[in-house]
Amino acid sequence: LCEAEGLWFHIDGAYGAVARLLPELADQFAGLERADSLGMDPHKWMYVPVECGLVLVRDKAAMQDCFSLVPAYLRDDRLLPWFAEFGPQQTRAFRALKLWLALKQIGLSGYRELISRDIALARTLRQKIQARADFELVTAGPLSVTCFRYAPAGLTDPAAIESLNHDLLARVQAAGEVYLTHTMIKGEAVLRASIVNFRTEEADLDFLLDHLAAAGQACLADQA
């Protein structure tokens, strides 16, 4: 459609685009190569310290036409690109260094191994969720994000389950032992676990579910 209408085709690959490195997931990313630009956040799944974002552009001249407004006192005719011409920011930190170091240290094979491991851990987390009576698996995608809910036996009212999950998430975030976020899926609030840390172990998954269950029971006790 973009090609037919002459539109710019941008892909927001902030978290997941790097999984294209895995040959077994190539089909999931069909069409990625047709983008005019691709945005990514290496601090999400490339194990780079916050913050580090990048954009890959097929035609750099289009970016220069959009952003380049160089007054005489800043003009520089060096052969090297001046990145202030590719976005609104002028002075900037040397964020590229930490990404370059990570790429050199980890390499293609290393990234494939680490990302595959994160996905395998997410798959294990889903199995653990399904094996427990007090949790409900909501999504099971191909990457390392899992969405689920705490739904203890006897609690069937959707509004009550949503309220409970909202309260327990606030409780565990305040405790600082585990770090989850939330999202909405088909109008329902769910817990969202994203495994993007190469130090995560299977034991952490058990701790996560036990900690959430304990927090959920504490919330129910507060409501009683």
Q: Above 70 in pLDDT, residue 215?
A: yes
Mean pLDDT of 202-212: 98
- Conformational region of residue 203, where left means phi above 0, alpha means psi within -120 to 50, and beta covers everything else: alpha
pLDDT score for 80: 64
* 162-166: Cβ within 8 A, 24+ apart: 162/188, 162/189, 164/216, 164/219, 164/220, 164/223, 165/189, 165/190, 165/191, 165/216
pLDDT of residue 86: 76
Residues 36-74 pLDDT 10s? 999 999 999 999 999 999 999 998 888 887 877 766 666
Are 98 and 49 in contact by the 8 Å Cβ rule? The answer is yes
Answer left, alpha or beta for residue 185, where phi above 0 means left and psi between -120 and 50 means alpha: beta
Domains parsed from the chain with CATH numbers = 2-110 (3.40.640.10), 116-223 (3.90.1150.10)
Query: How does pLDDT run across 125-156, given as a tens digit for each residue?
Result: 999 999 999 999 999 899 999 999 999 998 98
Q: Which pLDDT does position 129 carry in this prediction? A: 98
pTM across the whole model: 0.89
